[in-house]
Structure 1
Amino acid sequence: MSLLSFLFKGKTLPDEVEILDREDYKKAISKGKVQMVDVRTKGEFMSGHIKGAKNIDLFQGSAFESAFSKLNKDKPVYLYCQSGNRSQRAARKLVKMGFTKVYDLRGGYRTWTY
């Protein structure tokens, strides 16, 4: 085991998850109807979000899993949160739930608005 893999154990993302910078994310979601989810709290979502996003709060436990179970696991899912931490946690959960391709916005919503 290398020193880096030891230090960052558990921090690597599954192969099904890809992190996109703002421009690539914007390009990807502009190609038509996509499954885009904001995993922030309702209050954060209400204070501003990416047009077309659905709000499914990561911290809502079983309601989180229930809401995602209604989405198509074979189609890509585009996630974001405020900074990128919660969406990466959500991405790991989705892979465990059987989602085959998950995209995450690098730096989260805060990078979207600048």
Structure 2
Amino acid sequence: MNLSQNEWWSQYLGDANAVILDVRTEDEVANGKIPGAINIDIYKGQGFVYQVDELDKTKNYYVYCAAGVRSANACGVMQQMGFEKTYNLVGGFSNWEGPTE
């Protein structure tokens, strides 16, 4: 599900079962990330699938990348793998106005 920045962040903050997933490259993450995010690079292909498959499918995943395209793809892959609740950050980290670390 695609959510605007305000919807994505406010829903995350109110979700006791939430996990933030950053699907950008390590170089991108080195320039800043949303606090508490787990990084699994979607460009790793099958490696991405293997790592995501180890995640808890009962959690709710708030997924982002730089612009929102890779994270939308990641949400699609995750849905096919049995993750029921994935939320894509529209506009991605490049438009992010919330906290960073």
**TM tier relative to shorter chain:** 0.7 to 0.9
Residue 83 of structure 1 and its aligned partner are, at CA, apart by: 0.4
Question: How many Å separate the matches in 1 of 2:58 and 2:3?
Answer: 19
Q: Specify the alignment match of 1:30 in structure 2.
A: 13
The worse-fitting range, judged by mean Cα deviation, of 62-71 and 45-54 is 62-71
**2:36 corresponds to 1:70:** no
Task: Show the counterpart of 1:109.
Answer: 93
Confirm or deny: 8 A CA contact 2:20 2:36 kept in the other structure: yes
- Answering whether residue 1 of structure 2 is matched by residue 21 of structure 1, we say no
Q: CA RMSD in A?
A: 1.5
Unaligned 5+ residue runs, structure 2? none
Tell me, what secondary structure is at the counterpart of 2:27?
helix
TM-score (norm 2): 0.87
One-letter code aligned to 1:27: S
Identical positions, percent: 35
The structure that has the greater radius of gyration is 1
Q: Partners in 1 of 2:40 and 2:92 — Cα distance? A: 15
Taking structure 1 as the reference length, the TM-score comes to 0.78
The gaps in structure 1 that reach 5 residues or longer are 1-17
- What's the CA shift for 1:33? 5.7
8 A Cα contact 2:60 2:85, kept in partner: yes
Q: Would you say how many aligned residue pairs link Structure 1 and Structure 2? A: 97
Show CA shifts across 1:26-74 (max 9, x none).
1122234621111010000111110010110001122211211121112
SS in 2 for 1:91: helix
4+ runs deviating over 4 angstroms: none
Please state whether the residue corresponding to 1:49 is helix, strand or coil: coil
Judge conservation of contact 2:17–2:59 (CA < 8 Å) in 1: no
Deviation for aligned residue 1:101: 1.1
